[in-house]
């Protein structure tokens, strides 16, 4: 009878640890998967900034933004990729020698925050602001929300 008791006790104890170990392994795999997604999202944001300002490639918008992109920044929100391309084209034609330097990227879940500095020579016109021909710089803080490997939403502050 004593042997049966100790055998059952050992089985229960082993099963409990085994389940705990399996649960730990599952949690670890979820964590690894999330970190992989976060690193991929950071890479997408890097590609976006490089393509948009350092390479000045308008096609990067089609590659990395969703059709229904929403940009919360400036004076009014931008809704949809067509409106986004139009606004970007205005800035692209007004600014020359653009350069975007990422100072920090932080990812959590489907969000990526970038802290960066934009440099460019303002030689065009934006509304009532006429060209000054000097290099300007702005600090940017942008939070991106990504869905299926594309930027779906962006909140932007600059100074």
Structure confidence by residue, pLDDT tens digits, 3-27: 655 554 554 545 555 556 778 777 7
Using the Cα atoms of residue 72, residue 55, residue 120 and residue 82 in order, give the sign of their dihedral.
Answer: negative
Strand partners, 153: 70, 145
Residue 61 in domain: yes
Low-confidence ranges of the chain (pLDDT < 70): 1-20, 31-32
Residue 107 in domain: yes
Residue 122 in domain: yes
pLDDT of residue 34: 76
The two structure tokens encoding residue 124? 């065009």
Distance CA(150)–CA(112), nearest Å, equals 12
Residue 84 in domain: yes
**Total domains present in the chain:** 1
The answer to whether residues 84 and 74 touch, using CB atoms and an 8 Å cutoff, is no
The two structure tokens encoding residue 67? 């059709």
The answer to whether residues 152 and 69 touch, using CB atoms and an 8 Å cutoff, is yes
pLDDT of residue 73: 86
Q: Which domain holds residue 112?
A: 34-158
What is the model's pTM? 0.81
Residue 129 in domain: yes
Helix or strand (DSSP H, E) at 64: helix 59-64
Residue 103 in domain: yes
Residue 19 in domain: no
CATH of the domain at 87: 3.10.450.50
For the chain, the residue count is 159
Residue 39 in domain: yes
């Amino acid at each position: 009878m004593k042997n049966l008791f100790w055998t059952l006790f050992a089985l229960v104890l082993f099963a409990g640890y085994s389940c705990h170990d399996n649960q730990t392994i599952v949690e670890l795999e979820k964590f690894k998967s999330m970190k992989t997604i976060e690193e991929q999202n950071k890479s997408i944001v890097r590609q976006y900034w490089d393509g948009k300002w350092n390479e000045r490639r308008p096609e990067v918008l089609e590659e990395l933004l969703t059709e229904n992109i929403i940009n919360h920044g400036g004076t009014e929100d931008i809704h949809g990729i067509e409106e986004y391309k139009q606004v970007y084209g205005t800035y692209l034609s007004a600014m020359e020698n653009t350069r975007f330097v990422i100072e920090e990227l932080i990812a959590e879940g489907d969000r990526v925050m970038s802290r960066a500095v934009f440099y460019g020579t303002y030689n065009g016109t934006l509304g009532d602001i006429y060209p000054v021909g000097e290099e300007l710089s702005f600090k940017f803080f942008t939070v991106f929300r990504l869905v299926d490997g594309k930027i779906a939403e962006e909140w932007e502050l600059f100074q």
